[in-house]
Structure 1
């Protein structure tokens, strides 16, 4: 497959996430693009190798992360236009609003106290909040174990 195929697959993944809130499987992408599943699975692998996707451990046909979107439910929901998306972390939750170019409400919790916090994005900017985002792992080491990070 030509390199442009990987871009086509990546764009289809993000369009599907934006439209449905769900990450498509390799089989669904293959069906939608009218190509064979092995070609899409190979593209998933190449996109993973370029750190553009994280695949489900043990099932390389399923997407765990298409940053900033999560392919699974997480503790970081993002509510946009009556839909619930999931992010991989609170930082990515802000990225979901940015990727969709929409206002968003992000129900979260204080990582120390567990107290609920509601973050909001309006007009492309986070609404000022008295809170701190803590990164337990330095950014330079995130991809050593991106699921944990």
Structure 2
């Protein structure tokens, strides 16, 4: 990996092995063409059925790769920022209880969004994208206490 800071963080600190939003995986190289540009990625984890988390080998940014259509979405500027955003998500979890209405759930999503931007100004850069989609999920009650 050419980005030294990303490599050092992943080697020395690492990301969570098992998280509600992220499951670590054996590193695998991915070469994906996006908008006419070939991107060299290193798979580091999985999110959902068709979602892989990867580090861009050149920039060190974390991206979400859809294995169904090879679309790539920015997640965070670096593995450090990704870890901090994952921690912020869990620090606030669960996002309300059964009695919350839509406006209250949307307020919780907005608060989380502001916190994510405070950690990494690029976190909500892609819409739709990983964090933007997650905020929508929070707003509809997917991460509430049931």
- TM-score, with normalisation over the residues of structure 1? 0.27
Larger Rg: 1
